[in-house]
């Protein structure tokens, strides 16, 4: 058990479901889908023509117009998400007393793909002298998401950008948790951001046959744990949390949304894209998080599953059954990717935020589109509609290419 307790005091999210925690939560509880036809580019030659785009994003709400050329969209999302999270935490009115104990861990899975694409085209057309912006490198590198946030919020403490594919956001939050526990910071902004709904992003995953091609039914395309699932739906956005040492949060009268109590991470050491048989690496990761939290498996009441709408759903189910035993039949498990799609490096951040909101509001978000359950996926996935439930402990799972795994455990706030 840790001696320095860490709480969540702010949430900032953007997803295909909307901008801000309130709109995302409203639509999650309603079982809405944010998936639709791709509008960013011509998809005529692509087998997948659907994605989860963030709609209605006005970057100039948070960023001066002249600065936009300095940053790819994934950085713009991060800046907006951080601003919302800090406002939610009350950091604008009661700021961190010591900026050197205020840090930022925000990562991305792929970084500035759209800027790479546009700059490559300009290079071919205009040559290196006129085709490459002096802001090209700062616009695309992953750590400029954390860097830009730190500049705007005077966060002079630990600053890192973890890159671990679809586990990025969860790893960032877990490492921020540890940073506060170890005494290296009192407040951290942490999570993930991503914007890969681009010709190269969609094309790359199409080539690996990872994406759903249910183009005629976009809102029904992401269907975790079903027999008819045919791939994940690529999405974009960000999910950021403000983590804070409990005493520090209390001293400034901050709202406390949940407590983070456990973190586990592991490697499959098996395959570049497929999880280990039986989810062996995921099992170790979840067990580590339980040990870190100092609780029994039976105390977990809800799991926000990685649940991507791929063959790996059955393996995650096996892993949960192996870790939780008979308690697995009493667990509520849902994949909110059924509604917002897969945000890659931002997925773990968004889903951690959703898990905190579920604890706060006493409502479990559903797995929609669960019309034909896969017999190999035999847990209670909260099908179709949200469910009122007072849960004390909840887990959020994230697993990524390269066999990288992360699990976070949150506790309902009782302060």
Find residue 187's DSSP bridge partners.
102, 244
- Please classify residue 336 by burial: count the beta carbons closer than 10 Å to its beta carbon, then call 0-12 exposed, 13-18 middle and 19+ buried: buried
DSSP state for residue 240 in the 8-state scheme:
E
Q: Is 356 part of the annotated catalytic residue set?
A: no
Q: What distance in Å separates the CA atoms of residue 96 and residue 215, rounded to the nearest whole number?
A: 47
Q: What counts of helices (H) and strands (E) characterise the chain? A: 12, 15
For the chain, first and last CA: distance in Å?
Answer: 19
Q: At what angle do helices 199-207 and 113-131 cross, to 10 degrees?
A: 130
Cβ 302 vs Cβ 395: under 8 Å: yes
Q: Is 306 part of the annotated catalytic residue set?
A: yes
Residue of 86, 238, 342, 377 marked active site:
342
Q: What distance in Å separates the CA atoms of residue 193 and residue 119, rounded to the nearest whole number?
A: 21
| Residue (of 155, 168, 399) closest to 285 by Cα position | 399
Residue of 29, 166, 238, 377 marked active site:
166
Residue of 306, 340, 356, 377 marked active site:
306
Q: Is 153 part of the annotated catalytic residue set?
A: no
| Residue (of 343, 367, 391, 357) closest to 21 by Cα position | 357
| Residue (of 309, 293, 244, 287) closest to 88 by Cα position | 244
SS3 content of the chain, % helix, strand, coil (to 5): 40, 20, 35
Q: What distance in Å separates the CA atoms of residue 250 and residue 187, rounded to the nearest whole number?
A: 12
The CB-side HSE value for 233 (13 A sphere, CA atoms) comes to: 32
Q: What is the number of other CB atoms lying within 10 angstroms of the CB of residue 131?
A: 16
Please identify every residue annotated as catalytic: 166, 306, 342
């Amino acid at each position: 058990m840790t001696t320095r307790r860490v709480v969540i005091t702010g949430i900032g999210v953007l997803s295909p479901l909307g901008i801000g925690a309130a709109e995302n939560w409203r639509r999650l509880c309603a079982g809405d889908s944010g998936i639709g036809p791709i509008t960013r580019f011509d998809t005529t030659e692509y087998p997948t023509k659907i994605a989860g785009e963030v709609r209605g994003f006005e970057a100039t709400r948070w960023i001066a117009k002249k600065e936009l050329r300095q940053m790819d969209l994934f950085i713009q999302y991060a800046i907006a998400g951080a601003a919302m999270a800090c406002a939610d935490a009350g950091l604008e009115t009661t700021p961190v007393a010591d900026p050197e104990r205020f840090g930022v861990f925000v990562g991305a899975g792929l970084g500035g793909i759209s800027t790479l694409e546009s700059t490559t085209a300009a290079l071919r057309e205009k040559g290196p002298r006129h085709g490459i912006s002096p802001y090209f490198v700062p616009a695309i590198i992953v750590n400029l998401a954390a860097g830009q946030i730190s500049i705007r919020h005077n966060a002079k403490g630990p600053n890192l950008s973890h890159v671990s594919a679809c586990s990025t956001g969860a790893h960032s939050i877990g490492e921020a948790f540890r940073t506060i526990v170890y005494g290296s910071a009192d407040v951290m902004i942490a999570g993930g951001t991503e914007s890969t709904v681009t010709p190269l992003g969609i094309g790359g995953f199409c080539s690996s046959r990872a994406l759903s091609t249910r183009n005629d039914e976009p809102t029904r395309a992401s269907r975790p744990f079903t027999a008819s699932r045919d791939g994940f739906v690529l999405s974009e956005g960000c999910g950021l949390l403000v983590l804070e040492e409990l005493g520090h949060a209390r001293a400034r009268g901050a709202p406390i949304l949940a407590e983070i109590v456990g973190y586990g991470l592991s490697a499959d050491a098996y395959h570049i894209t497929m999880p280990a048989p039986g989810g062996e690496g995921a099992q170790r990761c979840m067990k580590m998080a339980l040990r870190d939290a100092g609780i029994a498996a039976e105390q977990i009441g809800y799991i926000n599953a990685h649940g991507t709408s791929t063959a790996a759903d059955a393996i995650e189910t096996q892993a949960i059954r192996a870790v939780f035993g008979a308690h697995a039949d009493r667990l509520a498990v849902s994949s909110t990717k059924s509604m917002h799609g897969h945000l890659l490096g931002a997925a773990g951040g968004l889903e951690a935020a959703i898990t905190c909101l579920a604890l706060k509001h006493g409502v479990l978000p559903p797995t929609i589109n669960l019309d034909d359950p896969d017999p190999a996926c035999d847990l209670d996935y909260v099908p179709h509609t949200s469910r009122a439930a007072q849960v004390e402990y909840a887990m959020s799972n994230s697993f990524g290419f390269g066999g990288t795994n992360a699990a976070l455990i949150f506790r309902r706030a009782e302060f």
